[in-house]
Amino acid sequence: MNIVVCVKQVPDTATERKLRSDDKTLDRDAADGVINELCEYAVEEALRLKEAHGGEVTVLTMGPDKASDTIRKALAMGADKAVHLVDDALHGSDALGTSHALAQALKKISFDLVVLGSESTDARTGVLAAMLAERLGVPQLTFANQVQIDKDAISIQRVTDYGYDRVEASLPAVVSVVEKINEPRYPSFKGIMAAKKKPVEKLGVAEAEIDASQVGLVGSWSEVVDFAAAPPRAAGTVVKDEGDGGVKAADFLASKKFV
């Protein structure tokens, strides 16, 4: 089974995240780049499926040169090889442009299954997996907290507000995972060393047959008009519980008409 796992490098949430003043895109230089957390679960699930069913795991990422750190992390966890979409023309792509670029790359890489995290911590749109399914014309099995494969049949538990839906489809398919699906492994020292020798293919817009008019800032379907730091919250009142903390909290709620 050919499994492709899409991973994204995102700015570390623990550092200050900013937009650039010049083109209003994410300032990727201002913050440390780390692998998007949910992507680690996607890599783990891809590796487990490979271990159970055989095949190969290919990492696919789109991002600037420094995103190669994120590729190495996924390779160190145990993925076999990687494809890195890297091209200045991709800078500033929105979700539609990104899904176009990734879909084109996926058509080049043969796949039975595409696995993604359900959301990135920077843009948090949560739409990319659905968009890939749409563009590739394959079943959408998203927000999975469990994946089962039996030959060509695949079923997942799709997390919902009320519990979960059991969803069935046939391969090839796109799966996105939520964090409770597994516990991502830490790369071993051996894995880290081996990752350095694993093949990483770099593809530009032309090689991946990406339509340049659909990606980057120029191809974007939306634009940031303006942005500003949110005003800080006004400092509140903090009291020490002297046996009446609950009463005081209730007084506060009453003053705000919540009770």
Partner 1 sequence: MSEILVLVEHVEGQVKKVTLELLTLARKLGAPSAVWTGAGYSPEAAAKLAEYGAEKIYVADSAEVSDYVVAPKAELLAHLVAEKSPSAVLVAATAEAKEIAGRLAIKIDSGVLTDVVGIEDGLVAAQSIFGGGVNVSSRVTKGTPIIAVRPNSTPVEAAAGAGTEEQVSFTVSEAAKSARIVERVKQEKGARPELTEAAIVVSGGRGVGSADKFSIIEELADSLGAAVGASRAATDAGWYPHQFQVGQTGKTVSPQLYIAAGISGAIQHRAGMQTAKTIVAINKDPEAPIFELADFGVVGDLHEVVPQLTQEVTKRK
- Comparing CB distances to partner 1, the nearer of 67 and 173 is 173
Find out whether 157 and 122 touch, Cβ atoms under 8 Å: no
- Whole-angstrom CA distances from 142 to 87, 157, 177, 209 are 28, 9, 7, 27
Handedness of CA 63, 65, 68, 70 (dihedral sign): negative
CB of 16 to partner 1, least distance (A): 8
- Comparing CB distances to partner 1, the nearer of 75 and 210 is 210
- Contact status: 18 vs partner 1 (CB under 8 A): yes
DSSP state string for 1-61: -EEEEEE-EEE-TTSPP-B-TTT-SB-TTTS-EEE-HHHHHHHHHHHHHHHHH--EEEEEE
**What string marks each residue from 63 to 82 as x (binds partner 1 by CB under 8 A) or -?**
--------------------
CB of 18 to partner 1, least distance (A): 7
CB of 4 to partner 1, least distance (A): 18
- Contact status: 91 vs partner 1 (CB under 8 A): no
- Residue carrying the six token digits 């176009």: 100
Pairwise CA distance, residues 53 & 120, whole Å? 28
By CB under 8 A, name the one of 21, 54, 65, 163 that touches partner 1: 163
CB of 167 to partner 1, least distance (A): 5
By CB under 8 A, name the one of 137, 151, 189, 190 that touches partner 1: 137
- Contact status: 189 vs partner 1 (CB under 8 A): no
- Comparing CB distances to partner 1, the nearer of 73 and 84 is 73
- Contact status: 220 vs partner 1 (CB under 8 A): yes
- Contact status: 22 vs partner 1 (CB under 8 A): no
Find out whether 8 and 63 touch, Cβ atoms under 8 Å: yes
Q: Residue 189: CB partners within 8 Å, gap ≥ 6?
A: none
Find out whether 130 and 142 touch, Cβ atoms under 8 Å: yes
Q: CA triplet 197, 201, 205: central angle to 5 degrees?
A: 160
By CB under 8 A, name the one of 142, 149, 177, 210 that touches partner 1: 142
The interface region with partner 1, picked from 58-66, 121-129, 187-195, 199-207 by CB under 8 A, is 121-129
- Comparing CB distances to partner 1, the nearer of 2 and 155 is 155
**Strand, helix or coil for residue 97:** helix
CB of 259 to partner 1, least distance (A): 5
- Contact status: 111 vs partner 1 (CB under 8 A): no
